[in-house]
Amino acid sequence: MSEDLRTLQVGAVTVSIINIGDVQEDLNRMFDLPEAERAGHPDLFGQPRRLPIHCIHLGGPGLSVLVDAGLYDYPPDAPQLIPGYQPPLDLFGGLAESHVRPADIQQVIITHAHGDHFNALTELRDGEYLAAFPNARHYLGRADWDAMQKALQDPDSLESHTFGVLHKQNLLELVDQPLDLGHGVQIIPAPGESPGHQVVRIHSEGQTLYCVGDLYHFIAEVEQPTWAVKWTNATANQRSRATFNETALKENALLIATHIHEIGRLQRTNSGETWVAA
Ligand SMILES: [Zn+2]
Distance, CA of 83 to CA of 134 (rounded, Å): 36
Nearest partner of 142 among 175, 170, 98, 186, judged by Cα: 175
Using only the alpha carbons of the chain, give its radius of gyration.
18
Average pLDDT, the chain: 96
Task: Output the CA 192–ligand 1 centroid distance in Å.
Answer: 13
Ligand 1 centre distance from Cα of residue 270 (Å): 29
| pLDDT at site 1 | 53
Please report which confidence band the pLDDT of residue 54 belongs to, taking 50, 70 and 90 as the band edges: very high
- State the distance from the centre of ligand 1 to the C-alpha of 102, rounded, in angstroms: 22
185-202 tens-digit pLDDT: 999 999 999 999 999 999
Backbone angles phi, psi at 4, to 5 degrees: -85, -5
The DSSP 8-state label assigned to residue 41 in this structure reads -
Q: Supply the pLDDT for residue 2.
A: 76
Q: 221 C-alpha vs ligand 1 centroid, how far in Å?
A: 14
Domains contained in the chain, CATH given: 5-277 (3.60.15.10)
The β-bridge relationship of strands 254-257 and 207-213 is parallel
Average pLDDT rounded to a whole number, residues 17-45: 94
Q: Where are the alpha helices (DSSP H) in 57-153?
A: 91-97, 142-147, 149-152
| Span from the CA of 112 to the centroid of ligand 1 (angstroms) | 8
Give 22 Cα–ligand 1 centroid separation in angstroms. Answer: 12
Q: Decide the pairing of beta strands 107-109 and 137-141.
A: parallel
Type and span of the H or E element at 244: helix 234-251
- Going by C-alpha positions, the residue among 225, 221, 223 that lies closest to residue 259 is 221
State mean pLDDT over 15-38: 95
Ligand 1 centroid vs 203 CA: distance in angstroms?
A: 24
Task: Summarize pLDDT for 219-274 with one digit per residue, the tens.
Answer: 999 999 889 899 999 999 999 999 999 999 999 999 999 999 999 999 999 999 99
Biggest CA pair distance of the chain: 59
Question: pLDDT over 70 for what percent of the chain?
Answer: 100
- Per-residue model confidence as pLDDT tens digits over 125-141: 999 999 999 999 999 99
Coil, helix or strand at residue 95 = helix
Q: Is 60 exceeded by the pLDDT of residue 39?
A: yes
Cα(156) to ligand 1 centroid in Å equals 22
Q: How confident is the model at residue 89 (pLDDT cuts 50, 70, 90)?
A: very high
